[in-house]
Amino acid sequence: MGLPYKLETSPEIFMQHFGDALIERVRALGTPLCVGLDPYLDRIPPLFRDGDMSPGNPLTAPAVEAFLKAVLDRAAGKTAVVKPQIAFFERMGWRGLRALEEVCSHARKLGMLVLLDAKRGDIGSTADAYAGAYLTDDAPLPADALTLNPYLGMDTLEPFFTTAKAHGRGLFILVKTSNPGSGDFQDLKIGNRSLAETVADTLNSQAEALTGGVTGWSSLGVVVGATYPGEAERIRQIMPRTIFLVPGYGAQGGSAAAAVNGFVKGPNGLEGGIVSSSRGILFPASGDTASAVDWEKAIDAAIDQAATELGEAVSV
């Protein structure tokens, strides 16, 4: 954890393949931690609060931006990737989206990959607009990867496959989500397989087509909740080269061991996934302090704890 952050992948290689870039960074750091950026407005610490923090206050979005940039400064060199959740920015309207652009830009300047959690999905021409908004070189809000919802079908994912390939970006498609009700539809049985497993199976040929030349991992990843380790194992059987984005660790109740259940043996331990933690890192109990030094210590400790715990879980 104490290692200075070092880019193992040159910018050129990064632009060519997201899966390789992500796994190389995770290997170098020794932890699959992904820092989630979910700025609950009512939990922004006193140090950064400006006014009442209501969504309609024009000062709210700049305060959120300052808070998250300060978190990113602490996270640099300790995490390969950060995951902003766009809903919390949309809650603030266009000022929120402008703040998100600044936050993403700041993270990339610090050498971290940006995985935008937006769970988009729409028919062809609309999907093109979403891909253009987040995954192209002229995107107003350029991210390195984007989360997607598969319900509409494979033709609605195609524009994202094409754009991801052309611009060296990554995709994480919802397969089995971490929430208690994820089984309502994802666990329904299609023959002897769940819908989630059927989605995984349908996606796998595209995942194979987007596999990188350096690490062997694909730029097409899937979301598999830490709260369902058994399903993670079954999905790993179906998708051997797909990176798992694992939410549900920490605040949602998934343990570190459960979170890495779909990981496989790599050169430096278990690999093939990233595990996101948001609330536990952004809002540690000791972070409600008016002292900048104390706040930094609290964030550092929260990041180090999650990074170390997950690092130990992949050490075998």
Residues within the interface to a copy of itself (CB under 8 A) = 38, 40, 54-56, 85, 87-88, 90-98, 101, 119-127, 129-130, 132-134, 138-141, 149-156, 174, 177-186, 188-190, 195, 198-199, 202, 247
Q: Residue 237 CB: number of other CB atoms within 10 A?
A: 10
Q: Which is nearer to a copy of itself, 218 or 276 (CB)?
A: 276
Residue 2 contacts by C-beta under 8 Å, 6 or more apart in sequence? Answer: none
User: What is the closest distance, in whole angstroms, from the C-beta atom of residue 291 to a copy of itself in the complex?
Assistant: 28
Chain center to CA of 249: 12
Q: Which is nearer to a copy of itself, 31 or 60 (CB)?
A: 60
Cα–Cα distance for residue pair 146/116, rounded to 1 Å: 5
User: What is the closest distance, in whole angstroms, from the C-beta atom of residue 260 to a copy of itself in the complex?
Assistant: 21
Q: Which is nearer to a copy of itself, 184 or 316 (CB)?
A: 184
Cα–Cα distance for residue pair 76/272, rounded to 1 Å: 21
Q: Which residues pair with 190 in a beta bridge?
A: 193
Residues annotated as part of the active site: 119
Cα–Cα distance for residue pair 27/24, rounded to 1 Å: 5
* Stretch (H or E) spanning 283: none
User: What is the closest distance, in whole angstroms, from the C-beta atom of residue 103 to a copy of itself in the complex?
Assistant: 12
Q: Which is nearer to a copy of itself, 49 or 119 (CB)?
A: 119
- Give the closest residue to 245 by CA, choosing from 312, 178, 197: 178
User: What is the closest distance, in whole angstroms, from the C-beta atom of residue 185 to a copy of itself in the complex?
Assistant: 6
Q: Which is nearer to a copy of itself, 30 or 280 (CB)?
A: 280
First to last CA, the chain: 17
User: What is the closest distance, in whole angstroms, from the C-beta atom of residue 175 to a copy of itself in the complex?
Assistant: 10
Residue 82 is which amino acid? V
Residue 191 is which amino acid? G
Q: 275, 34 in Cβ contact below 8 A?
A: yes
Residue 38 contacts by C-beta under 8 Å, 6 or more apart in sequence? Answer: 85, 88, 278, 279, 282
